[in-house]
Amino acid sequence: MVVLHKRKNQLSVFTNAVSDYGIISGKKIFLYLGLSTYLSNLFLSFAFLTLSNDFTEKYFAFYLLLLRGISVLGVIIFPTELDNRPTTKSSKMHLFFVIIQFTALAVFIFNIIIPLHEYTGNQFEVLVFLKYIIEIGLYGLCVALILKPIKRYFGIFERIFLYASALFILFLDILMIMN
């Protein structure tokens, strides 16, 4: 995401969605970002199945991560429109897949955090901290969608959600490898 912003810096990190970079000259990087997200979700979902302890959330996590991976492909396939342009079927499908992606990711993180306590030990606090940051970003972008005065901050709330989620998953990956 940092590369996308540096490359197309006429878009604002505060107001523009990350997807906006994918419809201008950042299409190739946006595609790589989406494909890497898809693959990481695929690998992580199957990694949950390899955990030795059997707990209900393990299978729930597997399906949520698969759903997120599929929705990421939908976000890539259906481009969005920049603000103040007519809404197309493609941009409506894009929004649909973004909502599924963000929902699956948030539900995964919010529900997997407690069962992870026994696997993560002292590092659990880092995951909890990241969960709080993710909540701030998610709730902020939801409010920005509803309240016009806050809409100008949509992009920053989305980035907070996406960066914190990526750090959560990266940290979770490292912990799973270590255990």
Tell me the per-residue pLDDT of 88-106, one tens digit each, with 9 for 90 and over.
Answer: 898 889 889 999 999 999 9
Give the residue ranges of the chain where pLDDT is below 70: 1-9, 12-13, 20-26, 83-86, 119-120
Show the tokens assigned to 109.
């993180």
Alpha-carbon span 101 to 59, nearest angstrom: 18
Do the Cβ atoms of 29 and 3 come closer than 8 Å?
yes
Q: What is the pLDDT of residue 83?
A: 67
Give the model's pLDDT for residue 71.
93
Q: 51: left (phi > 0), else alpha (psi -120 to 50), else beta?
A: beta
**Residue in the structure block whose two tokens are 């342009």:** 85
Do residues 76 and 49 make contact, with C-beta atoms less than 8 angstroms apart?
no
Query: Which uninterrupted H or E stretch holds 128?
Result: helix 124-146
What percentage of the chain's residues is helix, strand, coil (to nearest 5)?
80, 0, 20
Handedness of CA 137, 142, 148, 154 (dihedral sign): positive
Rg of the Cα atoms in the chain: 17
The DSSP symbol for 62 reads: H
10: three-class secondary structure by DSSP:
coil
Summarised one tens digit per residue, pLDDT across range 45-74 is 888 888 777 777 788 888 999 999 999 999
Q: What is the pLDDT of residue 157?
A: 94
The model's pTM: 0.84
- Number of domains observed in the structure of the chain: 1
Residue 104's Cβ-count burial label (10 Å; 0-12, 13-18, 19+) is buried
What's the domain range around 130?
Answer: 2-178
Res 133: pLDDT: 98
Decide: 1 and 18 in contact? Cβ < 8 Å: yes
